Structure 1
């Protein structure tokens, strides 16, 4: 998918246009509401957005950004899904599912091997084909402030 998309009768719009991303909205959520992201500085978030392989935003009827997903990829066969969120006031409209579906199945990474980390959204991701990594996967935990995110 490139550009904007919405479901018929839906008041939310999804877009993978990086120019539409509201950096302030992403920063506000990640720095206050995201257990996985509160350790980052604003400069970190801006650098991650600038270096993202792909971003998808969800926008409400007034055009304000209410959800987000970011991916890092080699562009050939592997991608990491990160920073998926929906503003609490806009949950219950399947925006989390739509963000994930748009990111992994609605663009150039459809056939990639995708990975992610989550502490609380296993059912959401399992419904999009994510599974436990199995015995061949290993992870090197982050060091320093990243190792113990604020909960």
Structure 2
């Protein structure tokens, strides 16, 4: 999957990249913690772990992401096994850059990413159904057969705070 860890697309002055080294953890955390409805109050440690263990993360940047003057304006994660299943989550474009087609561009790039473009995709949304329908998503007619296990989020947060020795200095 290493070939997927450094994909880059460009549209005008915006860049989209799967390189995790370019991600701005504070920008992502700020949006998820303060502006999203799905991760309100999430800790920066939890966001760091989510990024670390997600196979594909997409960042949208104003400016070339390989330069220090880049500014992150969007994000998405795809949890996948690269063969059958992909789960799209934490999709956002910062409010000051919405309405410029960046969300659509992000979705175009995600659904055409090699190795996952033909997997079964799922996601949950409260308010973006029309966007996702444009990329082949539909309401699940078998939702009544779905099952979930919620777990204990407080204990999980304690668990992720235990030291794990991984060498990814850009996410510290």
State the TM-score, normalized to the length of structure 2. Answer: 0.77
Q: Distance in 2 between matches of 1:4 and 1:74?
A: 21
Instruction: Note the aligned Cα RMSD (angstroms).
Output: 1.9
Query: Where do 5+ consecutive residues of structure 2 fail to align?
Result: 64-68, 155-172
Q: Distance in 1 between matches of 2:149 and 2:102?
A: 29
Matches within 5 A, 1:71-82: 71-82=78-89
Q: Which has the higher contact order (CA 8 A, sep 6+)?
A: 1
Structure 2 equivalent of residue 149 of structure 1: none
Shift of 1:77: 1.1
Q: Distance in 1 between matches of 2:40 and 2:120?
A: 27
Greater than 4 Å deviation, 4+ residue runs: 143-146
User: Which one is further off, 135-144 or 116-125?
Assistant: 135-144
Matches within 5 A, 1:98-113: 98-113=105-120
Larger radius of gyration: 2
State the TM-score, normalized to the length of structure 1. Answer: 0.87
Query: 1:122 aligned to 116, 119, 129, which one?
Result: 129
Q: Distance in 1 between matches of 2:85 and 2:132?
A: 17
Query: Where do 5+ consecutive residues of structure 1 fail to align?
Result: 147-151
Number of aligned residues? 144
1:29 aligns with 2:31: yes
